[in-house]
């Protein structure tokens, strides 16, 4: 699955909201599934959101429509959407504890009976990743949906002007972090039985990636190799 990592504003503004249905039509949510179809345990990285109000004007010339967002990003929106769709056991993580707890509170406002395990940590730290996933699966008994949303942006520089420290930081979070969480989730999923609601599989791993994994941009050379694009997800898919 691909998400516009560069522009969480637009995805965050729309994620979890359902389009209007014609009169008499069966209500369908934003994801094309119905409430209650996520009975298992979800884990979301990068769930803290942006943490501050901002605005984004679409269009290179600045002539596009302004889109206003608040403390939401892809990960925060995904976490809320899981709660809206009936998932009552969620493990969420982000490096920013303050915004992570805001997401926890938002989940509980949507679904007061939800159990939320919130952990502030670094997705590029192998020990932290393994510890969090192990504890989440211990608390909830299993892990069914892992959505890796954590990602960072670098400065808008051409590759020739980028220093190695910045490159390494972005790669550790965006690519290494997604791989570490995918691996940790797979270890749990491969050793559990499928849910009765989804008997055909033991779990699902989704990596939110940047469009720069498949397209080029002059001043974003460091982000292309760091994006966990379809090749990583395709390899993961063969493991479940």
- Average pLDDT of span 99-122: 96
- Domains parsed from the chain with CATH numbers: 8-18+35-237 (3.40.50.720)
Bridge partners, residue 45, by sequence: 93, 148
On the question of pLDDT at 51 being above 60, the answer is no
User: Cβ–Cβ contacts within 10 Å for residue 55, how many?
Assistant: 9
Bridge partners, residue 119, by sequence: 93
Place of tokens 């690519």: 175
Instruction: Choose between 147 and 51: higher pLDDT.
Output: 147
Residues 6+ apart with CB under 8 A from 104: 92, 116, 118
On the question of pLDDT at 166 being above 70, the answer is yes
What was the pLDDT predicted at 217? 59
On the question of pLDDT at 107 being above 90, the answer is yes
What was the pLDDT predicted at 198? 85
Burial class (CB in 10 A: 0-12, 13-18, 19+), 213: buried
On the question of pLDDT at 227 being above 80, the answer is no
- Average pLDDT of span 40-58: 72
Please, what is the average pLDDT of the chain?
A: 76
pLDDT in tens, 133-147: 999 999 999 999 999
DSSP secondary structure of 22-72: PTTPPP--TTSS-TT---SEEEEESTT---S-EEEE-STTS-S-EEEE-S-
What was the pLDDT predicted at 205? 95
Return the sign of the alpha-carbon dihedral for residues 208, 211, 217, 221. Answer: positive
CA–CA distance, 70 with 204 (Å, rounded to integer): 29
On the question of pLDDT at 206 being above 80, the answer is yes
Instruction: Choose between 223 and 17: higher pLDDT.
Output: 223
What was the pLDDT predicted at 6? 30
On the question of pLDDT at 170 being above 70, the answer is yes
What was the pLDDT predicted at 13? 33
On the question of pLDDT at 62 being above 50, the answer is no
Helix (H, G, I), strand (E, B) or coil at 139: helix
What was the pLDDT predicted at 31? 42
Question: Range with the lowest mean pLDDT among 14-23, 111-120, 204-213?
Answer: 14-23
- Work out whether strand 41-45 and strand 145-148 pair parallel, antiparallel, or are unpaired: parallel
What was the pLDDT predicted at 215? 63
CA–CA distance, 127 with 2 (Å, rounded to integer): 27
Structure tokens at 224: 């292309």
- Average pLDDT of span 194-211: 88
Residues 6+ apart with CB under 8 A from 159: 221, 222
CA–CA distance, 152 with 170 (Å, rounded to integer): 6
pLDDT in tens, 82-99: 999 999 999 999 999 999
Cβ atoms 143, 125 nearer than 8 A: no
Instruction: Choose between 54 and 51: higher pLDDT.
Output: 51
């Amino acid at each position: 699955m691909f998400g516009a990592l560069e522009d969480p504003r637009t995805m965050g503004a729309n994620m979890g909201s359902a389009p209007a249905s014609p009169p008499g039509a069966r209500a369908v949510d934003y994801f094309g599934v119905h409430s209650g179809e996520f009975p298992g345990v979800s884990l979301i990285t990068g769930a803290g959101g942006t943490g501050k109000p901002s605005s984004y004007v679409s269009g290179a010339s600045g002539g596009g429509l302004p889109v206003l967002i608040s403390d939401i990003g892809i990960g925060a929106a995904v976490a809320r959407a899981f709660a809206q769709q009936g998932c009552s056991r969620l493990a969420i993580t982000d490096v920013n504890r303050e915004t992570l707890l805001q997401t926890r509170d938002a989940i509980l406002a949507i679904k007061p009976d939800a159990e939320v395990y919130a952990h502030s940590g670094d997705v590029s730290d192998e020990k932290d990743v393994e510890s969090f996933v192990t504890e989440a699966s211990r608390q909830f008994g299993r892990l069914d949906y892992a959505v890796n949303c954590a990602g960072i942006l670098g400065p808008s520089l051409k590759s020739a002007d980028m220093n190695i420290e910045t490159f390494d930081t972005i790669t550790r979070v965006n690519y290494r972090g997604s791989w570490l969480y995918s691996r940790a989730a797979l270890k749990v999923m491969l050793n559990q039985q499928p849910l009765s609601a989804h008997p055909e599989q033991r779990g699902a791993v989704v990596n939110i990636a940047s469009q720069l994994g498949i397209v080029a941009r002059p001043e974003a050379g460091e982000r292309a190799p760091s994006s966990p694009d379809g090749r990583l997800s395709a390899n993961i898919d063969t493991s479940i």
